[in-house]
């Protein structure tokens, strides 16, 4: 059945029930739609001949013939003259390096970082004697450390990927080789192989189902990895292969040729033909078992590999792995470029100074002669490179390795957080990358999947109304309502599902007493009117339903004593309280998206014929008999259920006379064999019998949310984080969950696709009218889309999304141009299509602007690629930091596209987790990940970077001031070893610990005050303003620590009569002042003190003095006379009290202004963080008090009446399968006890039907 398409002119509206797959639509698919889009052709003009497209059937697979797929015609060029087979092997590869490529490739990637290249260039410069002013080891040692640490981290990450790939590629399957099935690893499977799969096996490739142990080659699969749905789906092999390919020898002789479409990412489509024994057989998606699915409820099956490895649909949907970088990384790179520019300017200025100095003074002073006959210009040129080397520490190489260490530590804190550990499944949180932690503190938009992410995908029967009376609240058997109750004890029912919880004892009592006929009829309907399949597994009944809702209803009936036992093609058997009864099934009228109901017509043992029906209240109430009772009370109960966001369903019945049924049955058979528009004919016949119904009551099912989802969403909203839900589910289902989790509220105005499209069309038309001139200016409209006060929300389907963003039109336009030749654009453009790419871009900007004005956005019936496109639009046009969270393979593309990808390790496999940056088990942990770990990581990284830049400016610019007194001669102000060890030993540990451990407030206060998150979103703690503040702070401190000692040394005399005003003493005093200033400054900036911080500050100062006295000793000078030249300088200088006073004065003057500014800032202009930090003791006491007093809150119902009918979202059931008899087992189940899952029936009769 073809899907309805949207025309370019917008004449047809998108179908909300259909999930569009425009991303991979082939040109031949668009042919049908293209012809109606060509108004320029006269009505009688002949159409161009349509040729068969080779692209559609360009994939050929020969069964049991591996050499066939390596023929030259199937080779593709890889590089120059090298070729390989176009058919992928089945091994998957996600790792980046191997033994040979690790060192060269890793070094290549590291040297793509500008700073590393810069330091390599410096190292080369330092080897040149004429330029070198510092020994080469001052650069080599830090560079080797940085490259080594980063390489080790990359190696560890890649080894984890190797292990994961190896685990998957080494899974075992049985493959037909040399005429018999042999165990083979997945990586060795090739296209054209026949494989044997057993129950609960993972499917290793995209496979054509040939035969199975079930009747008519049925095979049940769980597709959670592909589409996120945990209910089972059935696949079916061709009858001809099922009959002739059951045994090993038959399969070995199988030599069919499969011609099918090229590999693509469409999960809803497969087209092909099988040529076997001179006959052609059509193939479609129902014949395919896709990689990522799991075999369920089928003992064994055989299949032919069509697509392997990277060609499979699940791998095609995984999207490209993108290299992700944080905003701070990008900003840091720009700042490094800024420092480079400053460095070149300063070095150039000092080089010019040296040129003039040498011209005026240096060349005339005989005692300054170095014996070299260089001109002043050449000396200035050499001085330029000398200063590039001397001042290189403005861009410290240790910055990058320190950043990597901090990120690694923050990742470990996430892994170790017990409050993000899910004990039920023994699943801890996992930071799968170490490079994005601070980005978690800057998130503005969250894009979330629904099923399995917000919900548990578990439906629970919560309440019901029967004959006007509502049940479900805690009640005693006598009907007395309780505040708190205990669950019903089901021990009286041996078939009961022990996991089923129900609090209303009065309903159980009423059903068991058999006095309430309405209650008995209610549960009898639930046990009979469905398409559930049942299996008897080790004495236990296991239900397989087309949707979780239907399974929940049948399970509820089972617990109340009406147990569905088995079905055949024309009977259904249930256990009614204490007796087993079989009913003859005369007709089964299945769900579809238009009917929103299903019915079953049964013949009772006493000969009565009755129709049972269940469906959405909107369709059931239209078909009720005027004599039906309890309509008003049931309607009131439905409103209450709807306000509690429960999914409702109305139940009713109708007694039918034998004559009426016979007349209807004849019409039904005619409609079943109708050759034209069979579905519509059947719907009309169904309408005739589903009338004058008698209402019994209604059910209310809870689509169980994960714990803490509403609270998490509310907290994140307070942090100004917007949440968009992107799901493949139906619109009604997604909207219900929106209300359940408080994403949508009763005071929101909801806008749907039609409204959105109209607003965008008006904006587009206005823009066209305004642009009269040929020169078009790109100007974003400033007026808002929603002028009315109040909150707004968008609920939009995938079809409307394509219509709004012109996604389908580009291919149709390209096709038309190809077939008819290029035509000029229309002089008067239509509203439904863009004039050019700029207009399309403006339309996308309009849509993003409109969506961002809303409090919530829900996109439903969207494909994996559309999910990624929505994320891309927000990233592109809002420049916002985005996070995607999901749990299935259908979320992988979205997870890879967002700045941060989070995988939920839930029921739907590990595909999302493998592609994610962070993984945990419950959505509620996202709150802690962002508001605690993300915020702390951002604050720590910003504080670390600000201080790191400051301490290096303060350190390096002393050389600049010293140059004015050294003839601009590239002479360093410190000892060489001090320069080498400053960033490695003397000042690194305290600032590193601030980057790892600092916190302004604790985790509880971070969650209590979500507004603390706002500075991160605005990038307020690290930007160019902060950078220049650090620069000027560094300039100020460098001035103080150079000029105060310089002034003190000018005219002074030591206690022993010697003047300590030599260069080495000045270097020691300046260095000592710097170490004290820097370590005390980081102490002032530390918000969270621990023993480790205290030890680091005092330890850094102690290490400085310890190493300095060692390298200034006579002993080491004797061993290495050329490397250690400051013999006795430290002991000589630091024994003078005068110089200690100088150090204290310099440190005091450096720190005093900072203390004053911080005091004034926190007193006069305190931030939210400052206020919370100031009152943290009070808040902590209040929280402790609240925890003691807190009780579970009573449920508050909303005011708005809203339909939550699960009938709107229910998918088509197994009715066709049941009616065809294909679900009937070939052999009866052995053993006694309960009846088998499917009743025996004549095989031949089933096949005929």
% of the chain residues with pLDDT over 90: 20
pLDDT tier at 651 (50, 70, 90 boundaries)? very high
pLDDT tier at 79 (50, 70, 90 boundaries)? low
Q: Which of 6-20, 43-57, 446-460, 921-935 has the highest mean pLDDT?
A: 921-935
| Mean pLDDT, rounded, for 1106-1134 | 79
CA proximity to 1054, closest of 1125, 973, 974, 1142: 1142
Q: What is the pLDDT of residue 910?
A: 65
Q: What is the pLDDT of residue 26?
A: 36
Q: What is the pLDDT of residue 227?
A: 62
Contact 760, 846 (CB under 8 A): yes
Q: Torsion angle of alpha carbons 881, 887, 892, 893, nearest 10°?
A: -50
For residue 925, pLDDT beyond 90? yes
Which range among 430-444, 598-612, 1196-1210 shows the weakest confidence by mean pLDDT? 1196-1210
Q: What is the pLDDT of residue 1230?
A: 40
pLDDT: which is higher, 233 or 61 = 61
Q: What 3-state class would DSSP assign to 7? A: coil
Q: What is the pLDDT of residue 864?
A: 79
pLDDT: which is higher, 763 or 447 = 447
Q: What is the pLDDT of residue 1199?
A: 41
For residue 147, pLDDT beyond 80? yes
Q: What is the pLDDT of residue 438?
A: 92
**In 1051-1111, which ranges are continuous DSSP H helix?**
1063-1085, 1091-1111
For residue 592, pLDDT beyond 60? yes
pLDDT: which is higher, 621 or 1223 = 621
Q: What whole-number distance in Å separates Cα of residue 1230 and Cα of residue 1240?
A: 12
pLDDT: which is higher, 566 or 1056 = 566
Which range among 242-251, 641-650, 738-747, 811-820 shows the weakest confidence by mean pLDDT? 811-820
Which range among 11-15, 243-247, 1064-1068 shows the weakest confidence by mean pLDDT? 11-15
Q: Is 899 a catalytic residue?
A: no
Cα separations in angstroms, 730 against 795, 799, 862, 887: 11, 12, 9, 18
| Mean pLDDT, rounded, for 240-247 | 87
Q: Which pair of structure tokens corresponds to residue 883? A: 């996070």
For residue 1227, pLDDT beyond 60? no
Q: Which of 266-275, 403-412, 449-458 has the highest mean pLDDT?
A: 403-412
How are beta strands 791-797 and 469-471 bridged, if at all?
A: unpaired
Q: What is the pLDDT of residue 245?
A: 87
- How many whole angstroms from its chain centre is CA 159? 23
Q: What is the pLDDT of residue 402?
A: 85
pLDDT tier at 532 (50, 70, 90 boundaries)? confident
pLDDT: which is higher, 97 or 1199 = 97
pLDDT: which is higher, 1031 or 514 = 1031
Which range among 623-637, 823-837, 945-959, 1121-1135 shows the weakest confidence by mean pLDDT? 823-837
pLDDT tier at 81 (50, 70, 90 boundaries)? low
**Active site residue: 449, 504, 703, 899, which one?**
449
> Over the stretch 18-28, which tens digit does the pLDDT of each residue have?
556 544 443 33
Q: What is the pLDDT of residue 1220?
A: 61
pLDDT: which is higher, 426 or 771 = 426
pLDDT tier at 1241 (50, 70, 90 boundaries)? very low
For residue 2, pLDDT beyond 70? no
Q: What whole-number distance in Å separates Cα of residue 710 and Cα of residue 545?
A: 28
| Mean pLDDT, rounded, for 879-905 | 87
Q: What is the pLDDT of residue 916?
A: 86
Report the 10 Å Cβ neighbour count for 995.
Answer: 26
| Mean pLDDT, rounded, for 463-491 | 83
Which range among 4-8, 920-924, 1057-1061 shows the weakest confidence by mean pLDDT? 4-8
Q: What is the pLDDT of residue 1195?
A: 40
pLDDT: which is higher, 805 or 489 = 489
> CA torsion sign, 1027 to 1030 to 1031 to 1032?
positive
pLDDT tier at 1240 (50, 70, 90 boundaries)? very low
Angle subtended at Cα 74 by Cα 69 and Cα 80, rounded to the nearest 5 degrees: 130
Arithmetic mean of pLDDT over the chain:
80
pLDDT: which is higher, 58 or 584 = 584
Q: What is the pLDDT of residue 1035?
A: 95
pLDDT: which is higher, 353 or 1185 = 353
Q: pTM of the predicted model, to two decimals? A: 0.78
For residue 928, pLDDT beyond 90? yes
Angle subtended at Cα 974 by Cα 969 and Cα 976, rounded to the nearest 5 degrees: 95
Helix 1063-1085 with 1137-1164: angle, nearest 10 deg: 30
CA proximity to 452, closest of 225, 648, 607, 281: 225
Q: What is the pLDDT of residue 1058?
A: 60
Q: What whole-number distance in Å separates Cα of residue 624 and Cα of residue 696?
A: 11
pLDDT tier at 1152 (50, 70, 90 boundaries)? very high
Q: What is the pLDDT of residue 442?
A: 93
For residue 717, pLDDT beyond 70? yes
Which range among 236-245, 390-399, 470-479, 870-879 shows the weakest confidence by mean pLDDT? 390-399
Contact 461, 552 (CB under 8 A): yes
DSSP 263: P
Q: What is the pLDDT of residue 887?
A: 82
Helix 114-127 with 137-169: angle, nearest 10 deg: 140
Task: Kindly list the strands in the beta sheet with 791-797, ordered across the sheet, starting from the edge strand earlier in the chain.
Answer: 430-431, 918-920, 900-904, 882-886, 445-448, 722-726, 856-860, 791-797, 748-751
pLDDT tier at 1025 (50, 70, 90 boundaries)? very high
1176 contact partners, CB below 8 Å, separation of at least 6:
1001, 1002, 1005
Which range among 58-67, 977-986, 1233-1242 shows the weakest confidence by mean pLDDT? 1233-1242
pLDDT: which is higher, 117 or 38 = 117
pLDDT: which is higher, 8 or 1202 = 1202
Q: Which of 92-106, 155-169, 187-201 has the highest mean pLDDT?
A: 187-201
> Over the stretch 93-112, which tens digit does the pLDDT of each residue have?
877 888 888 888 888 888 87
pLDDT: which is higher, 583 or 1232 = 583
Which range among 437-446, 809-818, 1090-1099, 1195-1204 shows the weakest confidence by mean pLDDT? 1195-1204
| Mean pLDDT, rounded, for 1154-1169 | 88
Which range among 230-244, 372-386, 666-680, 1068-1082 shows the weakest confidence by mean pLDDT? 666-680
pLDDT tier at 566 (50, 70, 90 boundaries)? confident
């Amino acid at each position: 059945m073809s899907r309805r398409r949207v025309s370019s002119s917008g004449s047809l509206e998108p179908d909300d029930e259909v999930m569009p797959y425009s991303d991979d639509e082939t040109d031949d698919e668009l042919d049908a739609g293209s012809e109606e889009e060509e108004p320029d052709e006269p009505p009688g003009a002949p159409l161009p001949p349509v040729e068969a497209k080779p692209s559609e059937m360009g994939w050929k697979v020969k069964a049991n013939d591996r050499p066939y797929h390596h023929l030259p015609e199937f080779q593709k060029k890889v590089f120059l003259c090298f070729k390989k087979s176009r058919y992928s092997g089945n091994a998957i590869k996600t790792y980046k390096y191997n033994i040979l490529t690790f060192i060269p490739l890793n070094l290549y990637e590291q040297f793509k970082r500008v700073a590393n290249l810069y330091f390599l260039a410096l190292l080369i410069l330092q080897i040149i004697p004429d330029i070198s002013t510092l020994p080469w080891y001052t650069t080599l040692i830090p560079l080797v450390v940085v490259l080594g640490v980063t390489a080790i981290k990359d190696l560890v990450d890649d080894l984890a990927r190797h292990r994961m790939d190896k685990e998957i590629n080494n899974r075992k399957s049985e493959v037909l080789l040399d005429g018999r099935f042999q165990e083979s690893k997945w990586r060795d499977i090739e296209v054209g192989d026949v494989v044997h799969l057993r129950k609960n096996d993972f499917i290793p490739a995209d496979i054509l189902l040939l035969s199975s142990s079930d009747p008519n080659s049925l095979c049940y699969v769980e597709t959670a990895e592909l589409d996120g749905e945990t209910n089972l789906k059935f696949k079916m092999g061709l009858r001809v292969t099922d009959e002739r390919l059951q045994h090993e020898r038959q399969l070995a002789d199988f030599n069919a040729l499969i011609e099918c479409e090229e590999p693509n990412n469409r999960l809803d489509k497969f087209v092909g033909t099988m040529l076997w024994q001179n006959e052609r057989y059509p193939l479609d998606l129902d014949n395919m078992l896709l990689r990522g699915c799991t075999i369920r409820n089928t003992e064994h099956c055989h299949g032919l590999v069509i697509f392997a490895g990277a060609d499979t649909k699940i791998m095609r949907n995984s999207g490209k792995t993108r290299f992700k970088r944080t905003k701070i990384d990008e900003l840091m790179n720009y700042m490094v470029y800024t420092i480079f520019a400053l460095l070149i300017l300063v070095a150039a200025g000092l080089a010019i100074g040296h040129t003039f100095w040498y011209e005026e003074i240096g060349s005339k002073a005989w005692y300054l002669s170095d014996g070299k006959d260089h001109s002043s210009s050449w000396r200035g040129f050499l001085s330029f490179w000398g200063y590039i080397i001397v001042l290189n520490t403005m861009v410290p190489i240790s910055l990058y390795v320190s950043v990597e260490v901090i990120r690694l530590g923050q990742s470990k804190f996430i892994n170790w957080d017990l409050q993000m550990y899910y004990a039920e499944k023994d699943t801890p949180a996992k930071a799968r990358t170490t490079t994005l932690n601070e980005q978690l503190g800057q998130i503005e938009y969250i894009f979330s999947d629904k099923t399995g992410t917000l919900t548990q995908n578990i439906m629970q029967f919560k309440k019901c109304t029967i004959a006007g009376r509502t049940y479900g609240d805690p009640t005693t058997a006598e009907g007395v309502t309780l505040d708190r109750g205990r669950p019903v004890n089901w021990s009286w029912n041996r078939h009961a599902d022990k996991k089923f919880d129900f609090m209303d004892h009065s309903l159980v009592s009423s059903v068991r007493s058999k006095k309430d006929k309405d209650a008995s009829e209610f549960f009898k309907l639930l046990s009979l009117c469905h398409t559930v399949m049942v299996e008897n597994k080790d004495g236990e009944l296991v239900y397989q339903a087309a949707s979780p809702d239907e399974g929940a209803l049948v399970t509820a009936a089972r617990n109340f004593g009406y147990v569905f036992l088995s079905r055949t093609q024309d009977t259904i058997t249930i256990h009614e309280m204490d007796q087993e009864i079989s009913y003859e099934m005369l007709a089964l009228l299945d769900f579809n998206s238009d009917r929103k109901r299903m019915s079953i017509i049964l013949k009772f043992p006493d000969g009565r014929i009755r129709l049972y029906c269940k469906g959405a209240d909107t369709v059931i109430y239209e078909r009720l008999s005027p004599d039906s009772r309890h309509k008003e009370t049931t309607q009131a109960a439905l409103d209450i259920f709807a306000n509690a966001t429960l999914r409702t369903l109305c139940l009713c019945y109708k007694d039918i006379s034998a004559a009426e049924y016979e007349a209807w049955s004849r019409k039904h058979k005619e409609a079943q064999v109708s050759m034209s528009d069979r579905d519509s004919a059947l719907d009309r016949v169904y309408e005739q019998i589903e009338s004058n119904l008698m209402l019994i009551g209604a059910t209310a099912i809870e689509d169980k949310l994960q714990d803490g989802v509403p609270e998490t969403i509310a907290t994140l909203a307070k942090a100004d984080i917007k949440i968009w839900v992107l799901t493949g589910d139906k619109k009604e289902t997604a909207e219900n969950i929106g209300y359940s989790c408080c994403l949508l509220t009763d005071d929101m105005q909801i806008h749907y696709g039609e409204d959105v499209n109209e607003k965008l069309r008006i904006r587009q038309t206005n823009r066209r009218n305004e642009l009269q001139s040929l020169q078009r200016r790109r100007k974003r409209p400033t007026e808002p889309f929603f002028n009315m006060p109040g909150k707004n929300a968008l609920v939009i389907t995938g079809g409307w999304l394509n219509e709004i963003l012109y996604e389908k039109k580009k291919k149709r336009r390209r096709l038309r141009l190809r077939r008819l030749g290029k035509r000029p654009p229309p002089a008067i453009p239509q509203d439904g299509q863009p004039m050019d790419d700029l207009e399309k871009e403006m339309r996308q900007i309009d849509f993003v602007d409109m969506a961002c004005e809303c409090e919530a956005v829900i996109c439903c019936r969207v494909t994996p690629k559309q999910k990624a496109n929505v994320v891309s639009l927000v990233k592109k046009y809002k420049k916002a930091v985005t996070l995607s969270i999901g749990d299935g393979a259908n979320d992988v593309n979205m997870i890879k596209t967002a700045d941060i990808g989070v995988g939920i390790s839930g029921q739907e496999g590990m595909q999302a987790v493998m592609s994610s940056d962070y993984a945990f088990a419950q959505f509620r942990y996202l709150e802690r990940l962002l508001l605690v770990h993300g915020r702390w990581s951002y604050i720590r990284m910003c504080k670390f970077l600000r201080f790191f830049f400051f301490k290096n400016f303060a350190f390096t610019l002393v050389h600049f001031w010293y140059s004015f007194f050294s003839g601009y001669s590239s002479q360093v102000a410190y000892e060489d070893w001090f320069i080498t060890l400053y960033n490695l030993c003397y000042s690194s540990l305290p600032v590193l610990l601030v980057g790892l451990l600092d916190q302004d407030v604790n985790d509880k206060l971070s969650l209590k005050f979500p507004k603390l998150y706002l500075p991160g979103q605005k990038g307020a703690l690290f930007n160019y303003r902060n950078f220049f503040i650090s620069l000027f702070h560094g300039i100020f401190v460098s001035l103080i620590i150079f000029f105060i000692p310089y002034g003190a040394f000018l005219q002074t005399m030591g206690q022993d009569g010697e003047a300590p005003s030599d260069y080495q003493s000045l270097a020691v005093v300046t260095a000592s002042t710097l170490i004290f200033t820097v370590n005390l400054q980081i102490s002032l900036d530390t918000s969270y003190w621990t023993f480790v911080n205290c030890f680091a500050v005092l330890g850094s100062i102690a290490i400085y003095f310890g190493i300095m006295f060692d390298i200034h000793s006579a002993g080491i000078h004797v061993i290495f006379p050329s490397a250690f030249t400051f013999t006795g300088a430290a002991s000589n200088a630091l024994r003078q009290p005068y110089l200690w006073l100088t150090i204290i004065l310099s440190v005091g003057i450096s720190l005093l202004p900072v203390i004053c500014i911080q005091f004034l800032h926190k007193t006069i202009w305190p931030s939210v963080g400052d206020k919370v930090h100031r009152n943290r003791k009070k808040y902590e006491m209040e929280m402790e008090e609240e925890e003691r007093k807190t009780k579970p809150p009573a449920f508050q119902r909303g005011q708005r009446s809203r339909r939550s009918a699960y009938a709107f979202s229910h998918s088509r059931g197994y009715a066709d399968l049941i009616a065809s008899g294909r679900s009937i087992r070939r052999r009866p189940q052995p053993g006694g006890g309960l009846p088998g899952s499917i009743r025996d029936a004549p095989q031949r009769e089933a096949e005929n039907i």
